[in-house]
A and B are shown apart, each in its own frame.
Chain A
């Protein structure tokens, strides 16, 4: 009976993780307040894990879980993505057939700018992710677009993140159209989907650092800072939106379109939540 009692105590402990106060506004363009959302998200995690420094969230689950942090640190001693950064650099510097290169498409020659993506592009009237900007640069210079999820695009993105390490994320929402895109991304993050009826938030807010079998879902705060990632499960590098699609399939939902409006808006929202944290991509993950 004592065992049963202590097990039940454990159960009630798990319930502490669920959200004690839920929002009642912020679901319309008139009421949504990105800065209030961001500070609510941060204080949620800081209340739950008071011993973890805000700046450490860029390390994802390894900020919260000491045993897996140790394993991860030993992986990072010989980073599995090192080759990809080198390849990415070579690809980045290679000139297009017309003599131009990626450097001509980006501010500051494309160096140290990861923290400004995804960005609201007023002339296109949409959110532009770093990967989308890479492919738009290629097309503008008469080159074929790259595949979205892995390979060359992930390597170029990895190199660009690498040159931006320690720069502080600063995603801007300059107008109401951008705010509408943010709101759409916010809704996607909290909306349940798939046959398993789960939202991003189910695992990465309330469910963060609680075991699903032997796996520990990471906190959404700092989620995007280390992408693209070399994921052991993939055995290769992949982009954030590759992971989005994988997550949606995991909950048995037909995945949304990579670099489609929904995923770009989701990335916009998710990255905004991590404003103030530093770029530390590319990263290594299980």
Chain B
């Protein structure tokens, strides 16, 4: 199971910003129908419908892990701001994650960081997708 999980994370990170990657499409299709925690097969391999950020947060809740996750989420947010496609709620998620970390609510902090990091990854994906697809919305 652990092997599967790290594989899915690696695959999604590598494919990263490319929304139309076949694995991402397959993953999204499954997640869309079944939500989290559903197993599916793609190219002969078994995967689970959890986002890599959720998988990264599914470790023991402690200060070290919460700190690392928050740092990763902040880093991703910096990256999405660099392409000018940040989302408004992400900043508050990061703030809440930071507060939860301070008050020792590690689980809460880690889940918020996971969501914030996912948001920023999707913002970057949106930037790339917009670049490629905007012309299709122009009336002719």
Interchain nearest-CB distance for A180 vs B (Å): 15
Q: With A187-B134, A190-B134, A254-B87 given, is the CB distance from A19 to B126 under 8 Å? A: no
Which residues of A, 70-125, contact B by the 8 Å Cβ criterion?
none
Question: Is A252's CB under 8 angstroms from B138's CB?
Answer: no
Q: How far is B130's CA from A159's CA once the two chains are assembled, in angstroms?
A: 38
- Tell me the nearest residue of chain B to A195, going by C-beta: B87
Total contacts A to B, CB within 8 angstroms? Answer: 80
Q: How far is B132's CA from A15's CA once the two chains are assembled, in angstroms?
A: 24
Interface magnitude class on chain A = 20 to 34
Interface magnitude class on chain B = 10 to 19
A210 close to chain B: CB less than 8 A? no
Contacts of A206 in B (CB 8 A): 137
Q: How far is B89's CA from A249's CA once the two chains are assembled, in angstroms?
A: 10
Q: With A21-B140, A192-B126, A195-B119 given, is the CB distance from A254 to B135 under 8 Å? A: no
Q: How far is B84's CA from A253's CA once the two chains are assembled, in angstroms?
A: 9
Q: What 0/1 pattern do residues 62 to 105 of B give for CB contact below 8 A with A? A: 00000000000000000001001111110000000000000000
From the candidates A190, A192, A202, A249, name the one contacting B88 in the complex (CB within 8 A): A249
9-residue interface stretch from A37-45, A49-57, A275-283: A37-45
From the candidates A44, A199, A253, name the one contacting B139 in the complex (CB within 8 A): A44
A191 close to chain B: CB less than 8 A? yes
Question: Is A192's CB under 8 angstroms from B130's CB?
Answer: yes
B43 close to chain A: CB less than 8 A? no
Question: Is B88's CB under 8 angstroms from A197's CB?
Answer: no
Q: Which residues of A are in contact with B by a Cβ distance under 8 Å?
A: 19, 21-27, 37, 40-41, 44, 186-187, 190-195, 197, 199, 201-202, 205-206, 249, 252-254, 256, 262
Q: List the 3 shortest-distance A-B pairs measured between CB atoms, nearest first.
A: A254-B86, A191-B130, A23-B138
Q: Which residues of B are in contact with A by a Cβ distance under 8 Å?
A: 81, 84-89, 119, 126, 129-131, 134-140
Q: List 20 A-B contacts (CB under 8 A).
A: A19-B137, A19-B139, A22-B136, A22-B138, A23-B140, A24-B140, A40-B138, A40-B139, A40-B140, A44-B139, A190-B137, A192-B130, A193-B85, A194-B88, A201-B137, A205-B139, A253-B85, A254-B84, A256-B84, A262-B84
